[in-house]
Amino acid sequence: MKQEHGGVVTQKYGMVVDLDLCTGCGSCMVACMAENNVPFREDETDKLKSITWMRVYKLTNGKHYPETDICYLPRPCQHCEGSHGHSPCVSVCPATATDYDNQTGIVSQIYTRCFGCRYCMGACPYHARYFNWYDPIWPEGMERYLNPNVSPRMRGVVEKCSFCFHRYQAAKDKAHLDGQKEIDEDAYQTACTQACPAGAITFGDLDNPNHAVHELKKQPDTFRLLEKLGTNTKVYYVSSREWVRRAGDNYLKTEGLKKAVL
């Protein structure tokens, strides 16, 4: 249900990713890079330094041929709510460069405040944060495709998925101009959701019963990543395969699988 926060109607934006549908094609990754002016370098094979706000991981069930199985898992920033907005990264930032927005449930990243201490990267259990080790350099002429709605980042700051916050702002402005109080579900969608050719990603207000995610997150096969940590993330995953659900929360072999806490 919608919550009133300081007299303002609030949303809790989140995602449900159907891992049975995800084919690991990489469209979400590229859609994100293209939308958010993510830089690139000649060698991007050091994945610790390769900036990918959205990254598709390959999971395997660890069994031998031919029983082996693969599942792909797209991982944006999980936009942890923690308890009352105390997400791991927000709690440690000394510069207030990252904040939990109670109005949208989005964890922000304010580049001009960040001075690159990288505490947040250490605190994030999902490796969702990336540091700009290098100057972003676009080959001559290629900076023409940069999106004016997203500021390119500079060397020395941390960046991460923003749930395409600029799209939220645009949708909010438009709703205001149209005299609408609420933003329509399809008026605000992230670039990855929009691009996914398999329709595996659904995005919307988790608290709004009119949004598809509200019901989807209640499916029986739903889980969240490392739920045990109490990060209270807003990205839900669905998989019909038990080994995938176990992998999502690093369950030990001896442990029984708990039902997702909703």
Partner 1 sequence: MKIDRRSFLSLGVGVAAGTALSPLPWKLTDDLSIWTQNWPWTPVPEIGESSFVNSVCTLCPGGCGISVRKVEDRGVKIEGMKGHPVNQGGICALGLSGLQLLYGPTRIKTPLKRVGKRGDGQWAKISWDEAISEITEKLDGLRTSGNSHTVAGIAGSRHGTVSQLFSRFLTAFGSPNFFHTPSIADTYQLALQHMNGVSAAPGFDLENADFILSFGCGLLEGWGSPVRMFKANTGWKKAKARVIQIESRLSRTAAKSDRWIAIIPGSEAALALGVAHVLIKEMLYNKDFVDNYANGFESFVTDNGEIKKGFKQTVLEEYSPETVSRVTGIDPSAIILLAREFANAKAPLALCGKGQGKVPGSLNEAMSVHALNALVGSINRKGGVFPIPAMEVQGWAEVGMDTITSAGMNQPRIDGTPPNSLGYINQLPSAILSGKGYPLNVLFVLESNPLYTMADSKTVKDAFDKIPFVVSLSSFMDETAQYADIVMPNHIYLERLEDAPTPMGYNKSIISLSKPVFKPRLNTKHAGDTLILLAKGLGGGVAEAFPWKNFEACFEQAMGDKMKTLKKNGFWVDSDAVLPDWESTFNTPSGKFQFAPVEFSPGFAPIKIEGDSTFQLLLIPYETMRLSCGYIANPPFLTKTVEDTILKQNDCFIEINPKTAQSNQLSEGDVVVLQTPRGQARVRVHLEEGIMPDMVALPRGLGHTAHDGYIANKGINVNHLIGPVQDPVSGMDAAWGIRAKLSKA
Angle at 52 between CA 49 and CA 54, to 5 degrees: 150
Pull the structure tokens for residue 258: 């708990």
> Is 181 among the residues that bind partner 1 (CB under 8 A)?
no
- Binding residues among 225-244 for partner 1 as defined by CB under 8 A: none
C-beta closer to partner 1: residue 23 or 83: 23
Q: Residue 127 — left, alpha, or beta (φ > 0 → left; ψ -120 to 50 → alpha)? A: left
> Is 27 among the residues that bind partner 1 (CB under 8 A)?
yes
C-beta closer to partner 1: residue 6 or 139: 139
Minimum CB–partner distance for residue 147 and partner 1 (Å): 5
Task: Classify residue 233 by burial, with Cβ atoms within 10 Å: 0-12, 13-18, 19+.
Answer: buried
**Of 1, 64, 177, 253, which one interacts with partner 1 (CB under 8 A)?**
64
The CA distance from 219 to 237, in Å, is 10
CB 216 within 8 A of CB 238: yes
Quick check: bond before 66 cis, omega within 30? yes
The amino acid at 97: A
**Of 152, 185, 226, 249, which one interacts with partner 1 (CB under 8 A)?**
152
- Binding residues among 68-87 for partner 1 as defined by CB under 8 A: 68-72
Question: x/- contact string, 98-137, with partner 1 (CB under 8 A)?
Answer: -------------xxxxxx------------------xx-
> Is 49 among the residues that bind partner 1 (CB under 8 A)?
no
Residue 74 φ/ψ, nearest 5 degrees? -75, 135
Minimum CB–partner distance for residue 9 and partner 1 (Å): 28
The bridge status of strand 222-223 relative to strand 235-238 is: antiparallel
> Is 177 among the residues that bind partner 1 (CB under 8 A)?
no
> Is 155 among the residues that bind partner 1 (CB under 8 A)?
yes
Minimum CB–partner distance for residue 256 and partner 1 (Å): 26
**Of 5, 63, 228, 258, which one interacts with partner 1 (CB under 8 A)?**
63
Q: How many residues bind partner 1 (CB under 8 A)?
A: 72
Minimum CB–partner distance for residue 114 and partner 1 (Å): 6
**Of 6, 7, 8, 47, which one interacts with partner 1 (CB under 8 A)?**
47
Residues with Cβ within 8 Å of residue 209, at least 6 apart in sequence: 1, 215
CB 224 within 8 A of CB 260: yes
